[in-house]
Structure 1
């Protein structure tokens, strides 16, 4: 037996959700306590980690904490805790020759997903973002290598992801997307025929783009932009102009929803150019996003022209481009875009018509989308001179929204309404209740 095996943290503890969560927070109290209960003595922990036994005991009892990065590294290396679980780079003892995905067991995949979900349990913290960023950077590095493999399982996963949340928490969807992206990275490093390489790049772009969408919905603009850039690079390599245009149009929604409409308009116009003259979901999305951006930035004529083009394209879309997925442009999605653009333009009658149609077409599980539509309707109340009714409607929309969707995205849309309200109305009870709902 290896002389160190009696000092290594029992592997089963690394699959315990409570231990996983503690490690993401670098809280070693439950880790040391669980190790002790599993038969690892404080002396053994101390010897493995280069610490004093007394300090290990204090940490296990919660009387001391670990704050030094050097100590975190010594604990990770001493107990063989994978670096990613504590927000560190991969440790030297973790590095093994790359294996073909088909040789990986279901347990390997499950462990990765459990790790990601554990890290995301506390939200988009520094520790959880480390996992997400490292997955993307690994994909970026792999895209520099030219490289046949069975991609059917990846295509199946991408298709399943493309149908959106379907009532699942965004953090669970994000964990699965990042795990699948990480599974693809070794394939990108292998030499492949040109056709297989293009196919793999296409899938990489899809999964990176969907990851970016979830990060946007969770309110992390910086990481969303980074993943969209990876998606755009992979789309370019795949040679699929429609996919590239889709990535750019979706990325434009980040500055659009977070206060930079002119930047959003620039990205949307770039997407329209890449999409070309074809009647595609990507071209329709790009025109719709451009219309929203122009409307918010006060460029009425450009907004109306982009709306007209979006309507024209939507009307003539082939059936295959109308799928109710992140990559399709179904009528429900189109109505959601029109609702926001027309609300911003003050065209409240037309906006309300589109809001009613969008709500009728939205699944009950589409909590985020339905809330954004209801917030548009509340803004229409305000624009029609019924600000207090708008406050009440917006408050109810936020109350009905599950906590996991109360992110910067929904808060920003609601704040737009509050900031437009005249100062003398903000002292009223309805406005005060609304303001309370906006407190982070």
Structure 2
């Protein structure tokens, strides 16, 4: 008999609009509820099949937190026999023309199941499991058209960072960087196409470095940022060079050194630099100044970043690596800076305003930004509010493949500990321990 896992959703249910919306938006709480109510699949069985703790499945089904880890998305799709396209994946190993008994399906009693899929995903890279992201075959002679294809692919892969943590994406981004590096070594070029590919290499090194940083690989991140800086210099791209410096400043352990590096990144801004790039470099200088305790420098840099966005022509093209910088992002950075400078009256309103623009799909980022809001509430003496926001951040951070939310929340939890007699604080401390 062909393999038919007992958790498979019936075919007619996959046509349900509510289920399709939930799968498309990765609202797995709704998926679990629908699976139990309409297909009789218990939460305990879902937990067993997907390698998720039963308590976690129940919490997600009740609307507490979301599942954002790529590995778990693959596991759920595999266990429930959900077609890959419905959750943003390429066809799973058991999918072909729609027949459930194809040659790739494991036999009854096999222990392969989703663990094999996850192992393949971590070995071959996340990109191999996603649609429309397969790297085009490299020609022996590289022209500008092929570089454009790779640049578009890099932009598509960058979108993974919006919902996944560096623990999920690092190997993908590193693989792209290494493949481009090999292409530069082995292929032939026109003078123009080579310089453009070197610039793309600098961009890919920065993305890989960011994922390494987010996933807790600090040494790897620093090495990639330094390689990016050299590639940007070779390509004659001052904007990418400035961004490499800004990344190096972001993780410099000495605040004074960080301010110096960040200031250098802004010095390279030229008249041709797009508004998004100028705003990005100035806001990272603002952060370096805030960490160093320089309130006046922070305010000047934030003002420069805001002025850049306000002066931006409506039709000005932005490089994809800076296209996410907008007023909301600047509000977040402003709130972070004022939190760091212990100015809660300035930090809290701007963080609340910005956080209304973030839904829970951006679990890692929202958890991080909530940690600064909780920190500012504590600085203002609003202990109950700080506890509530911390609890929300902990829920969002659960299952995210990033070390940063927990790192940010650790000092907040330590400070909350002195208020452990407050019931709201007791609850969040218990949740953190669990």
Q: Which residue of 2 aligns with 1:223?
A: 220
Q: Which residue of 1 aligns with 2:153?
A: 157
Could you say what secondary structure the match of 1:346 adopts?
coil
1:55-101 Cα offsets, whole Å, 9 max, x none, are xxxxxxxxxxxxxxxxxxxxxxxxxxxxxxxxxxxxxxxxxxxxxxx
Higher relative contact order (CA 8 A, sep 6+): 2
Using the size of structure 1 for normalisation, the TM-score is: 0.60
C-alpha distance in 1, partners of 2:319/2:377? 29
Q: Which residue of 1 aligns with 2:304?
A: 309
Q: Which residue of 1 aligns with 2:355?
A: 359
Asked if 1:281 is matched to 2:281, the reply is no
Q: Which residue of 2 aligns with 1:350?
A: 346
C-alpha distance in 1, partners of 2:209/2:396? 25
Q: Which residue of 2 aligns with 1:47?
A: none
> Does the aligned pair in 1 maintain the 2:165–2:211 contact within 8 Å?
no
C-alpha distance in 2, partners of 1:341/1:290? 10
> Does the aligned pair in 2 maintain the 1:323–1:330 contact within 8 Å?
no
Query: Relative to 1, partners in 2 of residues 1:364 and 1:396: Cα closer, same or farther, differing over 3 Å?
Result: closer
1:244-286 Cα offsets, whole Å, 9 max, x none, are 112222332223xxx6433332221111112245453222112
**Per-residue deviation, 1:372:** 1.4
Q: Which runs of 5+ in 1 are unaligned?
A: 1-112, 122-146
1:422-437 correspondence runs (5 A)? 424-425=418-419, 431=425, 434=428
Asked if 1:197 is matched to 2:194, the reply is yes
1:331-380 Cα offsets, whole Å, 9 max, x none, are 23222211101222333343233223322333432111111121111112
Aligned CA-pair RMSD? 3.1
C-alpha distance in 2, partners of 1:204/1:312? 30
Asked if 1:297 is matched to 2:297, the reply is no
Q: Which residue of 1 aligns with 2:371?
A: 375
Asked if 1:264 is matched to 2:258, the reply is yes
Q: Which residue of 2 aligns with 1:206?
A: 203
> Does the aligned pair in 1 maintain the 2:225–2:248 contact within 8 Å?
yes
C-alpha distance in 1, partners of 2:159/2:287? 24
> Which of 148, 163, 169 is the aligned partner of 1:173?
169
1:292-321 Cα offsets, whole Å, 9 max, x none, are 221222111211222222221222134466
Q: Which residue of 2 aligns with 1:117?
A: 122
C-alpha distance in 1, partners of 2:258/2:154? 26
C-alpha distance in 2, partners of 1:326/1:402? 27
C-alpha distance in 2, partners of 1:424/1:349? 22
Q: Which residue of 2 aligns with 1:32?
A: none
- Bigger-Rg structure (1/2): 1
Q: Which residue of 2 aligns with 1:235?
A: 232
> Which of 331, 334, 342 is the aligned partner of 1:335?
331
Query: Relative to 1, partners in 2 of residues 1:405 and 1:349: Cα closer, same or farther, differing over 3 Å?
Result: farther
Query: Relative to 1, partners in 2 of residues 1:439 and 1:120: Cα closer, same or farther, differing over 3 Å?
Result: farther
C-alpha distance in 2, partners of 1:419/1:165? 29
**Per-residue deviation, 1:202:** 0.9
Query: Relative to 1, partners in 2 of residues 1:406 and 1:188: Cα closer, same or farther, differing over 3 Å?
Result: closer
C-alpha distance in 2, partners of 1:356/1:323? 27
> Which of 248, 260, 274 is the aligned partner of 1:251?
248
C-alpha distance in 2, partners of 1:431/1:196? 58
**Per-residue deviation, 1:239:** 0.6
**Per-residue deviation, 1:223:** 0.9
C-alpha distance in 1, partners of 2:221/2:315? 27
> Does the aligned pair in 2 maintain the 1:154–1:180 contact within 8 Å?
no
Could you say what secondary structure the match of 1:165 adopts?
helix
Q: Which runs of 5+ in 2 are unaligned?
A: 1-117, 127-140
Q: Which residue of 2 aligns with 1:25?
A: none
Could you say what secondary structure the match of 2:322 adopts?
coil
Query: Relative to 1, partners in 2 of residues 1:325 and 1:120: Cα closer, same or farther, differing over 3 Å?
Result: same
Could you say what secondary structure the match of 1:391 adopts?
helix
C-alpha distance in 2, partners of 1:200/1:217? 26
